[in-house]
Amino acid sequence: MIQSAHLIDAGLFKLDGGAMFGVVPKSMWQKLNPPDENNMCTWALRCLLLQTEDRKILVDCGMGDKQDAKFRSHFSPHGPGNLIHSIRSLGLEMEDITDVFLTHLHFDHCGGAVSRSENGTLIPTFPNARYWSNKRHWDWAIKPNEREKASFLPENILPLEESGVIHFLDQADALKEWPEEISFRYCDGHTEGLMILDFFLGDKHYIYPTDLIPSSFHIGLPYVMAYDVRPLDTLKEKNEVLEMAIQLDSTFIFEHDPIHPFAKVTKTESGRIQIAGYPESF
């Protein structure tokens, strides 16, 4: 049984507004997330920690801090949030994390999974954890297409395999090891084999939609990122998840929303899905 859930603040970063909002005109999206002079908008790196009686499950890891200055200059990581400090603020150490669930292997979701040791060696950040992906997405990431190559960084991925800590949820019996309150859904619009996680905490249902719906600004169906490899699939997958949220009275937990960590949705009489409110905590 899930006993508690915590948001893990891994900082802020910037991405191009046009890329994040796709075909939606700037005249519309700039009212939601105003860009700077370079058309860059600020986004959160918000991870999740779920605790059961005997497990501490970290969902995504932010972008980490091992990249060089040139790489970091493209994304302007900033803010007081830090993956390690946020975990320690809960009275935990890196050794306490038992599982790391990686929704997908883009750098802003898995960069913190691997760190540099004092001698420069790349090692898993959480030494006692099992890291979870799925084989279809893993194979997609280690042989990346040109469109996503800049997002799948070998230094974030291959050390997990070399250290023998990566496990795949689509292999036999893997799902049996997870608490029954947690469910997974595979989506292929943003990237091949992205995994969405949803769970019950008591009688309340939560959805962590990762980059299928990266922020509350992306609730509207046309708001699909230009990064997505199959945007029409994203539309279908978003609609299915939004309908599930309405049926289960779910609360969304947004990984990249710079303002609202949580939101609930509702459907108008005309059938349009919109924000119903912004809960402040679990």
Domain 4-277 has CATH 3.60.15.10: yes
pLDDT at 71 over 80: yes
Length of the chain as a residue count: 282
Burial pattern 24-49, b for ≥16 Cβ within 10 A else e, equals beeeebeebbebeeeebbbbbbbbbb
As beta bridge partners, residue 202 has none
CA atoms within 13 A on the CB side of 262: 16
Question: In this predicted structure, what is the pLDDT of residue 172?
Answer: 66
What's the CA gap between 158 and 144, in Å, rounded?
13
Q: Please give the share of the chain, as a percent, with pLDDT higher than 90.
A: 94
Please name the residue that has the structure tokens 């893993």. 138
pLDDT at 173 over 80: no
Task: List, for residues 10-63, the tens digit of each pLDDT value.
Answer: 999 999 999 999 999 999 999 999 999 999 999 999 999 999 999 999 999 999
Specify the pTM: 0.97
Q: What is the pLDDT averaged over residues 108-113?
A: 98
Residue 176 confidence class, pLDDT cut points 50, 70, 90: confident
Q: Is residue 231 packed enough to be buried (19+ CB in 10 Å), middle (13-18) or exposed (0-12)?
A: middle
Element spanning 278, H or E: none
Q: What residue segments make up the domains of the chain, in order of their start?
A: 4-277
Three-state SS at 115 = strand
